[in-house]
Amino acid sequence: MPSAPLSGRTVLITGATSGIGHETARLLAERGATVLVHGRTADDAQAAADRLVATAGIDADRLRAFAADFTRLDEVERLAHRVVAEHPRLDVLVNNAGMAAPERHTITPDGNEIAFQVNFLAHYLLTGLLEPALTTGPGGRIGRIVNVSSSLHRTASIQWNDPNRARRYSRLAAYAQSQLALTVFASDPRVTAVSVHPGVCETALMSLYANEGVSPAQGAAHVVRLCDPATEIVNGAYYDREERVEPAAAATEDRTVKRLSKLADLLVGHTATA
């Protein structure tokens, strides 16, 4: 069992029921963190927590199950309120939940293209609502946010006048747009965040990239490194696995950051971050 330098720290991981998110939960819990395991449903989240106890020997007291379907922003709000109420100090938020855009153009009940909402808008809303927990502590300590992004953000453009891509839909373009938005969000001065491409891993998203990849555990190790307070981060930094590299130019442009926050505020229905 690895050493436990993260003892006493609390981490919320979205999309922690499988793939990189699940392995990130395992690695952080093994190092002593209390891990809030998010799943789409309460049953999914609890099953994932139980699996960590049964297969990895994680102490059940270090795991908490939380649920929200990211295709419904009201559930994201309820998730945030519950986390703040039960864990008023949150050290790290890992925005990991993601989906491949479907073949057919799909709109959520909130009126947003489904990949844009699940991969970006839900995380934007969640992050803003968790601000009270992320900024409590000695001296107004600010927790860190790790956005699990993708190298495909480099191929993207944000369709400002048609973010739902109703006029011209491509599943790859829709997915890439969501990843560019998530990467841009890490540069928002209101948060302390980084983005990481964990490599091409054998997960449900692999078909977007290649025919083979590394294990989710190998990808998760790059996420965990950025969760560690011993790893110094610069707001808005982008990592390709363990190497810090420059993201797409749009990801660090002040104008793009501000424009995206205005668009996201509009699409989630209110100003999510202070």
**Residues tagged active-site:** 175
**Residue pair 57/29 in contact by the 8 Å Cβ criterion:** no
The two three-digit tokens of residue 216, written as one number: 């989710």
The two three-digit tokens of residue 224, written as one number: 């965990």
**Residue pair 107/249 in contact by the 8 Å Cβ criterion:** no
C-alpha distances out from residue 77 to 67, 83, 152, 164, Å? 11, 10, 28, 22
Q: Give strand ranges (E) for 69-210.
A: 92-95, 144-148, 193-197
Buried b (16+ CB within 10 A) or exposed e, 129-143: bbbebbeeeeeeeeb
